[in-house]
Structure 1
């Protein structure tokens, strides 16, 4: 497996850091694009890359704005002063088109985790990118009204602190209860995984666990309010295969309930090829869970089943 780290310049001049893992194979069977979660970065998906590269797939993962190697001017956790939601969704489409230019004749899949899954849903709704299949990991479905009050608090915090400042209040309101089900807690991030080594890796990673800015929270909450409607879901390509995976002890997905709601709403929107796996006792990061090999094997099986015969 060969590893490349580089930058691309988006349509508005923003520098997007990305990683590209390429298999040592004469023919590439396909490409897996990665859309990572909040307060982490694309480099954490090397295990996914190693797994798929061994099967002949290239993997490309970019850092969302304010994350990893896409942090601009030292503003960690900051999408943009304005229009941040549209910009991160446009970046995902920009990367998809770039990947298509690199590998025009192979199937193109998207693996999107947590915040990255919501950005990906926005991209599917607004742009209909040419994916052969989409995997949504650690996702959720929330009623739009749920995010209205939270967005009002975020706007008040922006007035109090400024657009580029981190708000501990918003962080606490969003993530503060996630550890409750796992008491007694060893760390603040026990909700991520049952594997203490992986939790420690997250804690010790300087590009993980930070608090996002008020402007990013406003963009995210407004974005969630806009995507979780029947009208928005009706714009998703009904012929696009979608696979939902999550742990049934993941607080982001309301311990499985939110994931099942997402499955139901996608089905009601007409998505024809829809699957969902809830892993017993799994927490938020199934790629870093104690049964990660089972998860990776399930992903491989789904991708292989949706890879055209001539490239298998």
Structure 2
């Protein structure tokens, strides 16, 4: 674990998984989702480190070890600062490991932050992975139509439900671990949720500043409620292609829900993802 100080003075905590006894062949930076923490990616990160990758994942402000107040409270202008924190971490790890490629991975809320990141800072990374992602503006439109009950909307399609988080995974042990952990299961504060919605409607829906040669790997479950039967992830892919991007593999896992790295077919998902990272960093 290491730390750095954000531009507003917030201490951001970073988990590191480094190759043992060898030089790193590439960097994978992980941006986790809402209401979770970086340590949940240890299984995936350990596999990457064993292959020679240096893996870094910060706990977002308001999350995990970076909680300074109430869980989910990102602070003033916190959404934009959360994205800025990802940029700052990339610069730090590039300085530490010069001359090797950087792959930026974002899941769910982390993928929304990555979508914003690459509008202005794509030159810092070589490849991008969007996991459990969606067309964010249309997701917020669905949430508004449902009366604003975000988590209730996500669980609706899995009735009768066992828990309030059945939408995450078919793996009951993973769902139960999520529900019992004090760093899981909350939303970000209303002010910054509104800031994300505004950014989604304005900038994220028009990705015209993303370089056309940036490889973006999109991976989702076909039962992920964020995507409304894949209509919204399909829309996201169309937007990037309309912006001129051509290297956009789109991997859909039948039956899988939102957290595909914690699904019953996790090994398959990780194998596919590692194969793409290896190709991308050759």
TM-score, with length taken from structure 1:
0.86
Distance 1:256 1:25, change over 3 A: farther
User: Per-residue deviation at 1:11?
Assistant: 2.2
Question: Is it true that 1:88 corresponds to 2:49 in the alignment?
Answer: no
2:154 equivalent in structure 1: 178
State how many pairs are aligned: 282
Where structure 1 has 5 or more consecutive residues not aligned to the other structure, the ranges are: 151-168
Where structure 2 has 5 or more consecutive residues not aligned to the other structure, the ranges are: none
Q: Which has the larger radius of gyration?
A: 1
Q: Deviations over 1:140-186 (max 9, x none)?
A: 01456955994xxxxxxxxxxxxxxxxxx85xx21212112212211
- 8 A contact 1:144–1:228 mirrored in 2: no
Separation in structure 1 between the aligned mates of residue 91 and residue 249 of structure 2, nearest angstrom: 26
2:185 equivalent in structure 1: 209
Which 4+ residue blocks in structure 1 deviate beyond 4 angstroms? 142-150
Separation in structure 2 between the aligned mates of residue 142 and residue 58 of structure 1, nearest angstrom: 30
1:279 equivalent in structure 2: 253
Separation in structure 1 between the aligned mates of residue 141 and residue 96 of structure 2, nearest angstrom: 38
- 8 A contact 1:193–1:284 mirrored in 2: yes
- 8 A contact 1:66–1:77 mirrored in 2: yes
Distance 1:280 1:106, change over 3 A: same
Distance 1:143 1:78, change over 3 A: closer
Distance 1:223 1:211, change over 3 A: same
Distance 1:68 1:270, change over 3 A: same
2:209 equivalent in structure 1: 235
* Secondary structure in 2 matching 1:16: strand
User: Per-residue deviation at 1:131?
Assistant: 1.1
Q: Please show how residues 72-83 of structure 1 align to structure 2 within 5 Å.
A: 72=68, 74-81=69-76, 83=77
Question: Is it true that 1:103 corresponds to 2:97 in the alignment?
Answer: yes
Match of 1:255 among 229, 242, 245: 229
User: Per-residue deviation at 1:71?
Assistant: 1.0
Separation in structure 2 between the aligned mates of residue 12 and residue 129 of structure 1, nearest angstrom: 24
* Secondary structure in 2 matching 1:176: helix
TM-score, with length taken from structure 2:
0.94
- Calculate the aligned-residue CA RMSD, in Å: 2.0
